Structure 1
């Protein structure tokens, strides 16, 4: 495993994006355990993109304008939905009681997290260009090497996102005990989802 791959991967994972944003919001509203579930879901959301890159399917998104635009605007629509539900206090940043936290469906958090990363066609194209760079050209069978790199990237994603969730959960009591701060945070997260949706809408192949 090259140092260049580890450093590049860390920079990519640490950079704020929709997955990190959702994990932080989940940690603030539902606590550390829920943020771990969100981290796991965001990590799972990477799997289809890596599989597509390994199988060469990502090239379809790169060459087909219709496929890319369709996938892209599904992602934009979902980000706008997250922004709307956050402002309506029933979605991403809904603060729950202890009983609600216990009863809250882990599957729902996981599903949302998976969709956030899955509905981003740029990830497939990114991995199509990213992974092959770290596979030696003389390698007879590149599949084991690409699977190894993918596993390391996914592990790094989970660890970093879990750290984001831990930080968010640590300051949770300070946030939810102040209604004005919570309202400000809700508007900030909603605006961030809209901004990321706008950024995705402007993305090109």
Structure 2
């Protein structure tokens, strides 16, 4: 019974955290709105891969460095903010080209770039590292030992819960805006909207304070 209560609390908390419109969800949705479902899914895989890097860092204790060092936190934060703003500006100055799912050669490059960009966005967000470091230890069970292994497993479960939730957001955003993406004029404005969101996320990250340092 105690084990059941433990997992119920853990998964309920993780579910609530994942359905909240945080920076990762906003980023994925903005990419989906501007370039379609496949790019949104590729971006999601990038975000999840970046989160796995943070989970590994938390398990190894590396996240503590970001939490304790204002300099390290600032370097990663401003790199992430600059990258988000860079992606946003590129969308703002784009020609609003319609996402063509029938262009095989372009599609592979686009999906790979979307994956890499999503991964970098997540890796370069120090708040994600600190979240895992602060959240996961609360669910460690001392009687089991192997703290690093427990953090790794719990972190993986957090990401696993995020997969269907963020996939739902991608599909919903894609279906909602698919008609507009087929129209070049509307596609241009969708790119502008996506770019504005990314720039706003970058500014928000740049203004983030490290309350743990």
TM-score under structure 2 length normalisation: 0.84
Give the length in aligned residue pairs: 203
- Asked if the contact 1:76/1:197 (under 8 Å) is kept, the reply is yes
Residue number among 65, 71, 83 corresponding to 1:66 in the alignment: 71
Q: After alignment, is 186-195 or 148-157 more displaced?
A: 186-195
What does residue 3 of structure 2 align with? none
2:99 corresponds to which residue? 96
**1:102-158 alpha-carbon deviations (Å, 9 max, x no partner):** 632232111011011111011111111100001123332223322221121111222
Q: Distance in 1 between matches of 2:156 and 2:132?
A: 13
Q: Structure 2 unaligned segments of length 5 or more: list them.
A: 1-5
In structure 1, distance between residues paired with 2:10 and 2:81: 30
Question: What is the CA distance between 1:183 and its match in structure 2?
Answer: 4.0
Q: How far apart are the structure 2 equivalents of 1:179 and 1:103?
A: 18
CA distance in 1 between partners of 2:25 and 2:104 (Å): 20
Query: Which consecutive unaligned segments of at least 5 residues does structure 1 have?
Result: none
Moved more, 135-144 or 174-183: 174-183
Alignment match of 1:33 (pick from 11, 20, 38): 38
Distance in 2 between residues matched to 1:187 and 1:63, nearest whole Å: 38
Identify which range, 99-108 or 74-83, moves more after superposition: 99-108
> Which residue of the other structure, out of 4, 7, 31, is the alignment partner of 1:2?
7
Q: CA RMSD in A?
A: 2.2
Partner residue of 1:50 out of 34, 43, 55: 55
1:173 — aligned with what? 178
Distance in 2 (CA, whole Å) between partners of 1:160 and 1:154 is 10
Residue 36 (structure 1) shift: 2.1
- Name the SS of the counterpart of 1:45 in structure 2: helix
Tell me, yes or no, if structure 1 residue 134 matches structure 2 residue 139: yes
Measure, in 1, the Cα distance between the counterparts of 2:69 and 2:209.
11
Q: Quote the residue 1:153 is aligned against.
A: 158
C-alpha spacing 1:182/1:52, structure 2 compared with 1 (3 Å): same
> Cα distance, 1:181 vs. partner?
4.2
The answer as to whether partners of 1:41 and 1:113 remain within 8 angstroms in 2 is yes
The CA distance in 2 between the partners of 1:151 and 1:13, in whole Å, is 13
Q: Give me the whole-angstrom Cα distance separating, in 1, the residues matched to 2:120 and 2:199.
A: 16
**Is the CA contact 2:67–2:130 (under 8 Å) kept in the aligned structure 1?**
yes
